[in-house]
Amino acid sequence: MPRKLIRTSVFPDGEFPLECRRIDNHGATGIHRHDFYELVVILAGCGRHITDREEYTLEAGDVFLLRGDMAHGYADTEHMTLVNILFDPDRLALPMRLLRDLPGYHALFRIEPRLRTYDRLRSRLRLQAEELAEVAGMIGRLQHELTRKAPGYRFQACAHLMHLLGFVSRCYSHPDRNMERPFLRLGEVLSYIELHYREPITVAQLTRMAHMSESSLMRQFHRVLSRSPIEHVIRVRILKAAEQLQRGDARVSEAALACGFTDSNYFSRQFRRIMGTSPREYRARGKRE
């Protein structure tokens, strides 16, 4: 059974779960797992990435994310230098939602980790030489802050991490990238929903955008998000409405209409189903807090 890394052994400061580790000439390692995010960047060399199910060849420029309880390790490494960026976005309160208009964010952080078993890591991000050099500089600045621990380093480290996450998400989205694009197409669908949730959205629209049949789109949504495309649209609308209600800058009817709901009763039912409380109770609670 794969060993599990304990948070306390990885994050010395339990209140600040962010570590950046560069390992030169990385050797083979047994399979292990953890319950925080790990962004891996291969800076040089090559090797094989192994999981409890599959094996994949790695080369310089490869970038991929491990999230949840995914088991992995490395074998047959040759002069491989990699960087592990270990972090918990929720505990760090990173505004990851602000990246949701980027198809590459969805592809890299939400889709590829869930569909890796089906795709065999073919759609991973492989940075070009100039991109890899820029990422290496960002990593160096992040490491510098985490090592020096000067006053304000937590803020600066989070800023460097967000810069890095935004940059690699944009790299994945680049239209000229020579790679298979099924994950990016699905990422474009998710970004479209984030940007156009106020408008009517149909499954037919989304299937054309994804270049998939309706059954394939349904299957991919269930694999990645455990829900149908339309259920995801409803969820995005409800979460957007919840943000407005929490700020207290809109009445319930106004938030419903602004987020694509024309029937206030239907909105209230869906809101309670997803958020566990009524829109009015949620708005009142936000005002008290």
Between these two residues, 12 and 134, which has the higher pLDDT value?
Answer: 134
Indicate whether 204 and 138 sit together in one domain: no
Domain count of the fold of the chain: 2
The predicted-structure confidence for 14-57, as pLDDT tens digits, reads as follows: 889 999 999 999 999 888 888 889 999 999 999 999 887 778 89
Indicate whether 117 and 239 sit together in one domain: no
Of the candidates 117, 147, 173, which is a domain's last residue?
173
Of the candidates 173, 191, 213, which is a domain's last residue?
173
pLDDT number for residue 123: 65
Host domain of residue 95: 3-173
The predicted-structure confidence for 193-251, as pLDDT tens digits, reads as follows: 999 999 999 999 999 999 899 999 999 999 899 999 999 999 999 999 999 998 877 89
**Neighbour-count burial of 261, counting CB atoms closer than 10 A to its CB (0-12 exposed, 13-18 middle, 19+ buried):** buried
Largest CA distance in the chain: 62
Indicate whether 166 and 265 sit together in one domain: no
The predicted-structure confidence for 166-199, as pLDDT tens digits, reads as follows: 999 999 887 665 445 668 889 999 999 999 999 9
Cβ-Cβ contacts under 8 Å for 152 (sequence gap 6 or more)? none
Would you say 168 and 135 are in contact if contact means Cβ atoms under 8 Å apart?
yes
**Rounded Cα distance, 271 and 257, in Å:** 13
Indicate whether 153 and 248 sit together in one domain: no
Three state DSSP letters for the chain:
CCEECCHHHHCCCCCCCEEEEEECCCCCEEEEECCCEEEEEEEEEEEEEEECCCEEEEECCEEEEECCCCCEEEEEEEEEEEEEEEECCCCCCCCHHHHCCCHHHHHHHHHHHHHHHHHCCCCCEECCHHHHHHHHHHHHHHHHHHHHCCCCHHHHHHHHHHHHHHHHHHHHHCCCCCCCCHHHHHHHHHHHHHHHCCCCCCHHHHHHHHCCCHHHHHHHHHHHHCCCHHHHHHHHHHHHHHHHHHHCCCCHHHHHHHCCCCCHHHHHHHHHHHHCCCHHHHHHHHHHC
CATH of the domain at 231: 1.10.10.60
**Rounded Cα distance, 186 and 184, in Å:** 5
Indicate whether 156 and 196 sit together in one domain: no
Indicate whether 105 and 242 sit together in one domain: no
For residue 68, the number of C-alpha atoms closer than 13 Å in the C-beta half-sphere is 7
Indicate whether 186 and 118 sit together in one domain: no
Indicate whether 187 and 219 sit together in one domain: yes
For residue 141, the number of C-alpha atoms closer than 13 Å in the C-beta half-sphere is 15
Indicate whether 229 and 190 sit together in one domain: yes
Indicate whether 161 and 223 sit together in one domain: no
CATH of the domain at 64: 2.60.120.280
pLDDT number for residue 99: 94
Indicate whether 260 and 213 sit together in one domain: yes
Of the candidates 135, 150, 173, which is a domain's last residue?
173
Indicate whether 153 and 192 sit together in one domain: no
pLDDT number for residue 119: 58
